[in-house]
Amino acid sequence: MIATFNLYTVSLFLHISAAIVGLGATFALSIAFPLAVRMGDPRHLLFMHKLNLEVITKLASPALGLILITGIVQVIDSDFISFSDAWISIAFVLVIILGGLQGAYFAKTDRKLAAQVESELAGGATELSAEYQKDAQREGSMGALSGLLVLATVFVMVFKPGA
């Protein structure tokens, strides 16, 4: 047999692909934002906030939705995975937390910070305000937390604690 195509394997393929493509992009942004800061031109920060928003809304959030749906499909279709398994419950909770952070925090914050940069630049600023710096640093810290949650989710999915 060359390959097994069934609901479980197709769902697993979509699940893993969504994790790599959708969530992997957020890790690339964690490198790009500090680069934009080091370049010293506030216009680069405006671009980064707009790019973050595009990645969140068009890659990461849809990927999390697909991860959640395909995870449910895999549990329902499987003879060896159950919703009562600790690792399944932990993974679902982590994915839901990540989705909440993306929708309630990151999208909102990037919209706010992009507008703030645009306003400050329109006012002739060559350096961004202390308020912007504080909020951008907080977003960076939340991004690091989000990255740790992604890695924790991968850890749970691979090592299956409590299984």
DSSP letter at 71? Answer: H
Distance between CA atoms of residues 34 and 32, nearest Å: 6
Listed residue (142, 70, 133, 69) closest to 100, CA to CA: 142
pLDDT over threshold 80, residue 115: yes
Residue 2 or residue 110, greater confidence: 110
Cα–Cα distances in angstroms (integers) from residue 9 to residues 16, 67, 74, 79, 81, in the given order: 11, 14, 9, 14, 14
> So what's the pLDDT on residue 163?
79
Condensed to tens digits (0 to 9), the pLDDT of residues 84-110 reads: 999 999 999 999 999 999 999 999 999
List phi, psi (to 5°) of 147.
Answer: -60, -40
Domain boundaries, the chain: 7-159
